[in-house]
Structure 1
Amino acid sequence: MDKKILAIAVATAAVASPALALDVYDNNGSTFSVGGHVSVNINGSSEGDLAVGSNSPRINFNFTQDLGNGYTADAKGEWALNMLDGGSNSFDTRLGYIGLTNDAMGRFVLGTQWAPYYDVAGVTDKPIAYATDFLYSNHGATGTGRADKMLSYRKGFDFGGSMLSLGLAWQGATGDPTLLKYDDRFQVTLAYDISDFMIGYALSSGDIIEAGVTDGGMSHAVSAKYGNFGDGLYAAAVYTMNEKVYGYRTPNDYDAYDESIAYEVLLAYGLGNGWNFIWNLENLTEDVNDKTTAINETAIQVEYFVTPNFATYAGYQVDLGDDESVDDDKYLIGARYFL
């Protein structure tokens, strides 16, 4: 199988972690692999007691099939694991899609997937412990992280030493029309890579219908990064301007800010011997009236990969003060095993 096509087919599965998987079957253009990771931590905070926790454990099944004439089909199912609560549901869907990739035509994906918006806005979402919380406030419906029920298209244009990447996406209507309904949503993204530098722009737009009232929900995101996370210097930043996209929500109520600004800055340095030292700063603020702040925090973190499949990590996150909760510094130490 063409290794470049296979790399494109699994690219959206790589989120702040090594792209590792256990090959189960590889024969005559068909492959099957199992991936994911298990993470456990000891968590604490200035407002709470020490406790054992987990950090986004998951398992996934990956399939590819060479269709001939330069086309490759792939499918992925991924589920979050409930490792700590006995008797509770063990699995929740994270990803489930089918993709079709061709070097000349690009890549189509249909299902629950990492959105093109995340390709741009997720440049700071790299550390295991603390990073880019604002992306996930309601990402399934608004498509800012893992997007539910999405059709996406990606295409790269090689200019000999640089690459321009285009992303397009559509989500159909979701939600309960009597409470909160997300109407059709659309995304357009552009990213330009040259050497170790990347700059990107993403637009996500669509209507939100709450109690019969229709309003627009839009986000503009710009980002830049330098280097490769975990290998020498990595620097990244993302800045977003939003209308009814980010903020807090309850199951039956829409409570995003009418207008908000969110940003994050990340600096990391990997020594090349498994050690990676990280600092980040994240903020989400309502951009009207008194500028209510929902997230305002910074963290110092360290990761150490004992082997490519086994990592330890620790972090301390300082709450810089906000308007909606008691200041609460957090810390953890943990380990992650990659399948």
Structure 2
Amino acid sequence: MNKKFLAAAIAAATFGTQAVAVELYNNEGTTFSVGGHVSINLNGSEQGDTDVGSNSPRININATHDLGNGFTADARGEWQLNYLEGGENTFTTRLGYLGLTHDVYGRAVGGTQWAPYYDVAGVADMPIAFANDFIYDDHGNLGTGRAEKMLSYRNAIELGEAGKLGFGLGWQGTNDTTSESWVFEDKNEDGIADGPAELVKKGVVYDDRMQLALNYSIMGAKVGYTYNTGDFKEVGAKKETAESHLVSAAYGSYGKGLYLAAVYGSNEYMNFNDKKRLAESNTYEALVAYALPSSLNLSLNYEKVEGKLTSNSATETAREEMALQAEYNFTSKFVGYAGYQFDLNDSNNRDTDSKWALGARYYL
């Protein structure tokens, strides 16, 4: 492994169209920086009114410290900013972890982090307005996006002119998300609680989860495979295994000329259809983007999720969308964007709801 691994491994934790941070301190092997971005956009859809929204705004703090003997420790905290409405939840946690990296021995991370699974699955999750959605189906517990309470390890082997081979491992412990609440019976079905109260328990208990990610890159092209598995039990149901096999391929660098990416996943109990967990599902994502020398980046992406609620039921389309988007870098820190997402899922006479967004993002 060469010494580019350290910088690449730490920077990879940012993810997104751009990674911008202001370094506030750099002395005797210790650095401290602040980053993130804020955005404002107009949102609209076929079935909804136009309103003002934001697109995943966040603020983060990052620190690194040279431990000597080739080891570097780094820490990151990142919070979503809820600045459009007042209230108590101004900040909600997105990331929080401690990492240890060595040029030869690889990188270990503990905390809420981007999972090794996402290293493979996230290659098409690039545009600002509309991007990959199925990755984020219960991603904190399933470890498909920002995995909560995860221990991970990554390493890579440089093969010279033959490219680079990388791998990642991830583990999450048992997580009990169940809760209890009193529910009052509505005897007359008039919306008024006029019957006895019942203590109702709901939620999911997730057992230990494991994942493996493999990727190979050469001459601007990258292919990957990832496996994710672990048991879970919903209240009132039997224990099942949530499992995913996913492959991806990508070429180029998003925002620099031509970029191509495709993802396919074969899953069990990993995806949802109208909040109902699918016993079996197939997921598809594709992205074609081209950035002109003028800093205008045009893209077309497609996503589909289809599956069965039970192993014996018919296959249904849970999601099918296609989006046309444009992003323009006025400066390295200020980006304008626009997109229109076509809702293609009209199965079972479902009413489609295509969406559009027009906005700007400022990187701190």
The reply to whether TM is greater than 0.5 is: yes
248, 260, 263: which one aligns with 2:284: 263
Q: More displaced, 169-178 or 80-89?
A: 169-178
Deviation at 1:273, TM superposition (A): 2.3
Show the 5 A alignment for 1:246-261.
246-248=271-273, 255-261=276-282
Say which SS state the counterpart of residue 203 (structure 1) adopts. Answer: strand
Question: 1:88, 1:336 → 2: CA distance?
Answer: 24
- Number of residue equivalences: 334
Q: More displaced, 172-181 or 59-68?
A: 172-181
Give the 3 Å change call, closer, same or farther, for CA 96–249 of structure 1 in structure 2: farther
Corresponding letter in the other structure for 1:333:
L
Question: 2:207, 2:346 → 1: CA distance?
Answer: 32
Indicate yes or no: 2:12 matched with 1:12. yes
295, 311, 314: which one aligns with 2:335: 311
Q: Deviations over 1:239-288 (max 9, x none)?
A: 000000111586xxxx3200001110100000132110000010011145
Q: Deviations over 1:49-88 (max 9, x none)?
A: 1100000000000000000000000000000000211124
Match of 2:142 in 1: 142
Show the 5 A alignment for 1:154-173.
154-161=154-161, 162-173=163-174
Is the Cα–Cα contact under 8 Å of residues 81 and 90 in structure 2 kept in the other structure? yes
Corresponding letter in the other structure for 2:279:
D
Deviation at 1:11, TM superposition (A): 2.9
Deviation at 1:140, TM superposition (A): 0.1
219, 243, 256: which one aligns with 1:218: 243
Question: 2:215, 2:265 → 1: CA distance?
Answer: 15
Say which SS state the counterpart of residue 236 (structure 1) adopts. Answer: strand
Question: 1:320, 1:256 → 2: CA distance?
Answer: 21
Deviation at 1:187, TM superposition (A): 0.4
Corresponding letter in the other structure for 1:168:
L
Segments of 4+ moved more than 6 angstroms = none
Say which SS state the counterpart of residue 131 (structure 1) adopts. Answer: coil
Deviation at 1:14, TM superposition (A): 2.8
Say which SS state the counterpart of residue 117 (structure 2) adopts. Answer: helix
Match of 2:196 in 1: none
Indicate yes or no: 2:301 matched with 1:280. yes
Deviation at 1:213, TM superposition (A): 2.3
Deviation at 1:3, TM superposition (A): 7.2
316, 320, 326: which one aligns with 1:296: 320
Q: More displaced, 60-69 or 239-248?
A: 239-248
Task: Give unpaired runs (5+ residues) of structure 2.
Answer: 179-200
Match of 1:236 in 2: 261
Indicate yes or no: 2:21 matched with 1:42. no
Share of identical aligned residues, percent? Answer: 52
Deviation at 1:9, TM superposition (A): 4.1
Is the Cα–Cα contact under 8 Å of residues 218 and 244 in structure 1 kept in the other structure? yes
Give the 3 Å change call, closer, same or farther, for CA 88–46 of structure 1 in structure 2: farther
Is the Cα–Cα contact under 8 Å of residues 137 and 249 in structure 1 kept in the other structure? no
Is the Cα–Cα contact under 8 Å of residues 150 and 171 in structure 2 kept in the other structure? yes
Deviation at 1:290, TM superposition (A): 2.4
Give the 3 Å change call, closer, same or farther, for CA 34–338 of structure 1 in structure 2: same
Q: Deviations over 1:69-114 (max 9, x none)?
A: 0000000000000021112410000000000000100000000000
Match of 2:117 in 1: 117
Say which SS state the counterpart of residue 160 (structure 2) adopts. Answer: coil
Match of 1:333 in 2: 358
Normalised by the size of structure 1, how large is the TM-score?
A: 0.95
Corresponding letter in the other structure for 2:42:
I
Question: 2:55, 2:292 → 1: CA distance?
Answer: 24
> Which has the larger Rg?
2
Task: Give unpaired runs (5+ residues) of structure 1.
Answer: none
Corresponding letter in the other structure for 1:18:
Q
Match of 1:55 in 2: 55
Say which SS state the counterpart of residue 8 (structure 1) adopts. Answer: helix
Say which SS state the counterpart of residue 141 (structure 1) adopts. Answer: helix
Question: 2:101, 2:151 → 1: CA distance?
Answer: 14
Is the Cα–Cα contact under 8 Å of residues 3 and 103 in structure 2 kept in the other structure? no
